[in-house]
Amino acid sequence: MNLKLDEWIIEADISSMQVALESGRLSSEELVTVYMERIRKYDSTLKTILELNPDALQIAKALDQERKEQGSRGPLHGIPILLKDNIDTHDNMHTSAGSIALAESFAAEDSFVAAQLRAAGAILLGKANMTEWANFMSPTMWAGYSSRGGLVLNPYGPGELFVSGSSSGSAAAVAANLSAAAIGTETAGSIICPASSHFLVGIKPTVGLVSRSGIIPITYSQDTAGPMARTVKDAAILLGALTGVDERDELTLASKDRYYTDYTPFLDASYLKHARIGIPRFYYSSLDEERLVLMEAAIETLRNEGATIIDPISLPCDEVNWSNQVLRYEFKKYVNDYLAKLPESAPVHSIQDVIAFNEQHADVALKYGQDILIWSEQTSGTLSEQEYLDSLQQNLEFARAQGMDYVLQKYELDALMLPGNYNGSVLAARAGYPIITVPAGYTTQGITDPEGGFSTKGPFGVAFSGTAYSEPTLIKIAYGYEQATLHRVPPTMD
């Protein structure tokens, strides 16, 4: 091998990896080895990864041999990818959602996402740490904490900067160049927020574009998996491998004839000259001065690249007093469905069992308590309560018809530009619509929590959101903005 791999791997993208693999200057076995070495060197501090795939090197060798004998399967052939620990893999890795109650749980079959990645030739490198139960366990739990893996730290300021969102291990690992890319999951902000906080590109797809079968859920209405990567191109490559109709997830039936297996043709920076982008100022109101400056700079960049900016715009739903009851009710129903399928030998088969298990192992399992689990367990689990039905109807009516669809149609917009934080991501989450975040800059000031000491300063992203299945347009806009700015820089690791 002619590459000085330990240096070259930092910020290497998937396309350059493929060029090196095809030329024979690099093997997938070497690629896995160098990532494992970086993980051993840095991850004892960062705690981004719960476990490595013990078969990763053997899989890499087999894919190297296949490349020589049959050629490449495509852009992900032999590329190491991490999966969030709520995504089932039928192999020698566990799937636990970060909970010690499931620490010894092996999936009976691959999730759709894992199967798609394997078919594309990706190497499932390991399981990423995450906020336990996707941050639906305790209102005081720190983002990135799990009883199984401890607290994920942000490589841009370990122990100082906030990691944000439950896909924090996926984000921190990719940001620190411990994997080529990763898969996260989102209910409301859990891809977008940690991607933004780690100078990454994150895509939360339209709900139903990517199957949720084999993923430990929070909700049926809002959950989806999506890519987290260092570039828009890498995220687009990964998204194309994840899509497809899956009979085990009926929402994917609506994506037939609306999904692509290759999103790279939409990497068109010139599209900004034709784009109409709306600025919903209501969602900027909570930003501190530095983040607002970054948003204004992003608006100016888009304008300079030829985009038509409609500023300000308002949505009929801006002042709605939203309910979170959808998450409460659907969590019990769908987590119970998942746990009920576990083998008899598993220690838990329902949320009630999880609560009891945690109480029995309180010294390890209940650092932050489990008030949200108990709150959800108090529901019937049948989704028949009027409170739930009203909350679901509110989301559908106000986030879609009186929200995003209304304003996109009224102003003939391609997308809304939003902050890459929870406030910016939650409307698209309630609507089930896509959103993509791209690095926008770094802030030096932030709010510091007096107890945990974590600051909200650091990397920050802008986000673009549109109506259902508008991923091609959002990728065009995000790519144009990325290429005009190139804000991402790697963390200093040594």
Task: Tell me which residues are annotated as active site.
Answer: 84, 166, 190
**How many Cβ atoms sit within 10 Å of the Cβ of residue 228?**
33
Among residues 133, 137, 152, the alpha carbon closest in space to that of 82 is found at 152
Tokens representing 22?
A: 């095809």
C-alpha to C-alpha distance for 366 and 343, rounded to whole angstroms: 25
Whether 28 and 60 have beta carbons less than 8 Å apart is answered as: yes
- Write down the residue that tokens 């929070």 correspond to: 218
Among residues 322, 346, 304, the alpha carbon closest in space to that of 396 is found at 322
